[in-house]
Structure 1
Amino acid sequence: MQSASFKISNYKFTKTLLDFSFYKEGEIDVSFAVSGTFIKSRSIFELRFAIIAKSEGITEAFVSVDCESIFEFTNVSSLAEVPDYFYTNSIAILFPYLRAYVSTITVQSNIRPIILPTLNLSDLNGPLKQHTNEID
């Protein structure tokens, strides 16, 4: 059996919210949401990755970004054949794009740029698996 390989073929930012009335200098709480769809007929995986940033102690987000990406597979024809390492690696591949985008949009807003730290997001592989479905 040949091993599966994949590559990112496209990504786009589908939703961006900036509301600095909810921004306060200091600590930032960052959360993530991930989900996916494996399209069998095309052997592609659509990954949706959202980031939400809130100032500490404030319930409303001052930054929210949704990103959609396409990963193409070779040697994979069903969701069951998607290797476990894909879930962790796909998030790790996409996160630098999200991180750079957040920095760019905040610096262009003429405020102190929000620079998200480099993070180990391997804990998101479980939620991504759980929130992935398969379609023909």
Structure 2
Amino acid sequence: MVKAELTKAFNFKNFKVSKFSYDEPETENTDFDMEFQPKGRYNEKTGLFELYLTFIALDKISGNKIIKVKSVAEFIFDKPYLFIELPEYFFTNSIAIMFPYVRAFISTLTLQANANVLMLGLIKFGNVAEPLKENTEVISE
């Protein structure tokens, strides 16, 4: 039997898309590359973490930007922690929690534009966690 381990709890509080652009590719069924630009802002007094995620899809052949979505999600910890006390799994899991909302937005946007629906599959976010941690502003006042 495996004993349950208590963790520093956090809850998903809110999500919104703050800015987006869409440029329909010139050819149908375009292959694309994806880029993620994560950054955060953590308030050590309140335990609120704001995760800013910019998603960019680029046409593999031309390099032109197809879609760019800037979004923000809010997470709240069960109590305020120092930034160095935040668990490592938060930086990976917070992006994974937020991404289905980004993916749904992109699918809906391209569907409503009557264009080729841009379907995003499952993504491994392990390599995005460290840039998020490095690009997090800590508010301690």
Same fold (TM over 0.5): yes
Aligned ranges for residues 60-75 of structure 1 at < 5 Å?
60-75=64-79
Shift in Å at residue 8 of structure 1? Answer: 0.8
Cα 1:31–1:23 change in 2 (3 A) is: farther
Aligned counterpart for 1:127 among listed residues 128, 131, 137: 131
Distance 1:43 1:56 in 2: 40
Report the more deviating stretch, 115-124 or 99-108: 115-124
Task: Could you tell me which runs of 5 or more consecutive residues in structure 1 were left unpaired when the two chains were aligned.
Answer: none
> Is the counterpart of residue 101 in structure 1 residue 99 in structure 2?
no
> Is the counterpart of residue 24 in structure 1 residue 27 in structure 2?
yes
Distance 1:61 1:38 in 2: 30
CA contact (8 A) 1:24 1:55 kept: no
Task: Could you tell me which runs of 5 or more consecutive residues in structure 2 were left unpaired when the two chains were aligned.
Answer: 1-5
CA contact (8 A) 1:76 1:82 kept: no
Distance 2:102 2:80 in 1: 27
CA contact (8 A) 2:33 2:58 kept: yes
Aligned counterpart for 1:43 among listed residues 42, 47, 61: 47
Distance 1:74 1:23 in 2: 48
For residues 55-96 of structure 1, give each alpha carbon's deviation from its aligned partner in whole angstroms, at most 9, with x where no partner exists.
112233110001111100013422111110100100110011
Q: Which residue number in structure 2 is paired with residue 3 of structure 1? A: 7
> Is the counterpart of residue 91 in structure 1 residue 95 in structure 2?
yes
Which has more radius of gyration?
2
CA contact (8 A) 2:9 2:77 kept: yes
Cα 1:88–1:56 change in 2 (3 A) is: same
Could you state the TM-score of these two structures normalised by the residue count of structure 1?
0.92
What is the SS of the residue equivalent to 1:124? helix
Q: Which residue number in structure 1 is paired with residue 60 of structure 2? A: 56
Shift in Å at residue 6 of structure 1? Answer: 0.2
Cα 1:57–1:19 change in 2 (3 A) is: same
Could you tell me the percent identity over the aligned residues? 32
RMSD, matched Cα: 1.4
CA contact (8 A) 2:46 2:80 kept: no
Shift in Å at residue 50 of structure 1? Answer: 1.0
Shift in Å at residue 133 of structure 1? Answer: 1.7
Q: Which residue number in structure 2 is paired with residue 14 of structure 1? A: 18
**What is the total number of aligned residue pairs between the two structures?**
134
CA contact (8 A) 1:23 1:54 kept: no
Higher helix share: 1
